[in-house]
Amino acid sequence: MTSRLPVKQKNLIPALTLVLAAWGMGGFRTAYALDLEDCVADAIQNNAESRSIGDIRTHCEQQLESASTSVDGYYRECLGIRGVNADPSVSAASIVEQCKADQASGHHLPQRYSTDRRTETNPYIISPLRQNYILPYTYLKDPNQEPYELVGDELVENEEAKLQISIKVPLSYTDLFTANDGIYFGFTLKSFWQVYSGDISAPFRETNYRPEIFYQAPLPIDSVGTWVGRVGLEHESNGRSQLLSRSWNRAYVSLGYNADNWALMLQPWYRFPEDDKEDDGDPNTPLPPDGDDNPDIEDYMGHFELTGAYRWDKVEFSGLFRRNFAEGNGAVEVGVSFPLWGRLRGYAQYFDGYGESMIDYNHKNQRIGIGVLLTDLL
């Protein structure tokens, strides 16, 4: 006789797999980890009999932290990054001159920016674009049932999991027009999983795909942090057909400021227009696949996005704001992350507004969730 798990217990199993997956993904190696390994290896070799591993590791962590925030540390980092990414024809003397000028002015690349530049050519490291997180439990106050009712799908439950994976890869490997600029391909996947709906096989009810290509460069503005400009093209859709299909294509320009403990970026966009769907007037036949699936999406998503982050000690606060001032619609998302274990961080998120997902672009959501953050903004 085969026994079955109760529905509630059964639904906890896939939720637990999300947490274990996050633990496994925390194993991606960073430039800091590689530097720490070198330091620990040298210390063990030179002090094998006189020090404990705990003492060695603590000493190396403190040494790396001190070096990364010292004037000499910034200078050496500048030499290394410029030497790797500069055009081969550039002279070493000019790189020294540029880095000395930055050192004298107090200007340096923020740690997140410089770490990305150091690791871009490493085939074993994936660079994040936006936040990467897994929220095994979220509660949605008012699920949008209308699209699913139209196609006869099961109703959406309030409790579900939410996850986002966002990466970027360089398409250029030397400076193009200015120091530390480059062309990148980015891809963000955001998914909503009805993991607690075991009676309907716990489906992924909505997944959004967001590929983009952009050019990014530090701007020549004299400041302690770094001003960054970005120009790009992106597509976003949910990969569905007919009545559940949602998509749009945009061009955007971004202006951001990055310091070591805070960052802010404003990104206005232009939506490329699409032809209207041609309805034959027969309610028994679906709309044709060609044409705009969501002609009023900007009424709810607005024309810009403002994102920001602030780090206080080991806690990081993040936020997102969108608005169409003419229609009075938009969205606010706030999050807080905190140390959990190793490089994994706990993460709590709250969303209020339109456009959390493509299928909900014109439905106002309120959601709160808790989970694990793999990479933060700073």
Active-site residue set:
235, 237
CB 194 within 8 A of CB 209: no
| Nearest residue to 358 (alpha-carbon basis) of 197, 268, 240 | 240
Report the chain's C-alpha Rg in angstroms.
24
Write out the chain in H/E/C secondary structure. CCCCCCHHHHHHHHHHHHHHHHHHHCCCCCHHHHHHHHHHHHHHHHCCCCCCHHHHHHHHHHHHHHHHCCHHHHHHHHHHHHHHHCCCCCCHHHHHHHHHHHHHHCCCCCHHHHHHHHHCCCCCCCEECCCEEEEEEEEECCCCCHHHHHCCCCCCCCEEEEEEEEEEEECCCCCCCCCCCEEEEEEEEEEEECCCCHHHCCCEEEEEEEEEEEEEEECCCCCCCEEEEEEEEEEEECCCCHHHCCEEEEEEEEEEEECCCEEEEEEEEEECCCCCCCCCCCCCCCCCCCCCCCCCHHHHHCCEEEEEEEEECCEEEEEEEEEECCCCEEEEEEEEEEEEECCEEEEEEEEEECCCCCCCCCCCEEEEEEEEEEECCC
Cα separation, 305 vs 322, in Å, equals 5
Please write down the long-range contacts of 282-291, taking CB distance under 8 Å and 24 or more positions apart: 286/242, 286/243, 287/242, 287/243, 289/241, 289/242, 289/245
